[in-house]
Amino acid sequence: MPPPGLRSLLLAMLAAVVRCDDPYSLSQVLFCQPSEPQSGLLKIFNEDQMFSYNFTDNSTSPWINDFDKWRGLAFPDPSTVQSHVSLCHRFRQALTNALVNIMPEARGNTHVTVFTARPLRLGVPNTLICAISDVYPPALNITWKKGGQILTTALDSYKYVAMEDLTFQAFSYLNVTAYHNDFFSCEVQVAGDDRTIVAYWIPQYPVPSELLLYGLCGSGFTLGIIFLLLGVWFCYFARKLHNTD
């Protein structure tokens, strides 16, 4: 049985879909819910998220820097946004009161994977990405651990990305310098679920480059010569011992 407060979740999609030319669509997703973050506002062009609204300081964040030039056009003025959000919360409350015990609460089938941003090289700084898909509701707690110890530093904030099927994706980033024998985990708690989903990451041997192959051949060859010399020496030594007996 999910906690009663969480049953009241509703995602309000004010799908202001503007069709410019047929293959292009511009959509806006506004959500409100009882858990954190209580409100979210996202702008999507085709299937790519372009902007998100920060309700703390009424600012707009581009998803990548290239979108920065359209930042001012992304969302209506703060008072309009505020009135849409208030409407969303009132609507959610009214629907919750009407539908509790009638409609089950929707849930995603969350999956978590961890991978590196750049090809792995031991001892070289890299970024671990924890990608969480099929998230619903958009209320997660993400914890990074190294060797079972919680990492409290170097944790970047995570962001929600709206998908076409009304689920979300979320990403969390961790800057690391990985060494052999390290292990990391990304642990995700989903609102209303008693489960914690854990994805592990261990540094695996990097794909051998041509240089590495040559290096390995070289060391193999050297080792071969050493063993050959040792063998010769042992034979000689054994024979010498045998002769002196």
Given the rule CB under 6 A, which residues bind ligand NAG? Answer: 54, 56-58, 61, 78-79, 82, 127, 139-141, 154, 156-157, 175, 189-191
Residues 164 and 197: beta-carbon distance below 8 Å: no
CA pair distance 132, 181, nearest whole angstrom:
25
Q: How far is the CB of 129 from ligand NAG (least distance, A)?
A: 11
Whose Cβ is closer to ligand NAG: residue 6's or residue 25's? Answer: 6
Q: How far is the CB of 140 from ligand NAG (least distance, A)?
A: 6
Q: How far is the CB of 216 from ligand NAG (least distance, A)?
A: 29
Q: How far is the CB of 80 from ligand NAG (least distance, A)?
A: 8
Q: How far is the CB of 202 from ligand NAG (least distance, A)?
A: 21
Residue type, 221: F
What are the structure tokens assigned to 219, written together? Answer: 């060391």
Whose CB is nearest to ligand NAG? 78
Q: How far is the CB of 50 from ligand NAG (least distance, A)?
A: 15
Whose Cβ is closer to ligand NAG: residue 25's or residue 151's? Answer: 151
Give every CB contact of residue 191 below 8 A, 6+ residues apart in sequence: 6, 9, 35, 137, 139, 140
Whose Cβ is closer to ligand NAG: residue 161's or residue 190's? Answer: 190
Whose Cβ is closer to ligand NAG: residue 57's or residue 245's? Answer: 57
Percent helix, strand, coil in the chain (nearest 5)?
Answer: 30, 35, 40
In Å, how far are 79, 85, 166 from 92, measured between CA atoms? 20, 10, 16
Which residue is associated with the tokens 């041997």?
Answer: 205
Whose Cβ is closer to ligand NAG: residue 93's or residue 127's? Answer: 127
Residues 116 and 126: beta-carbon distance below 8 Å: yes
Per the DSSP assignment, residues forming a β-bridge with 144 are: 186
Query: Within 13 Å and on the Cβ side, how many CA atoms surround 136?
Result: 17
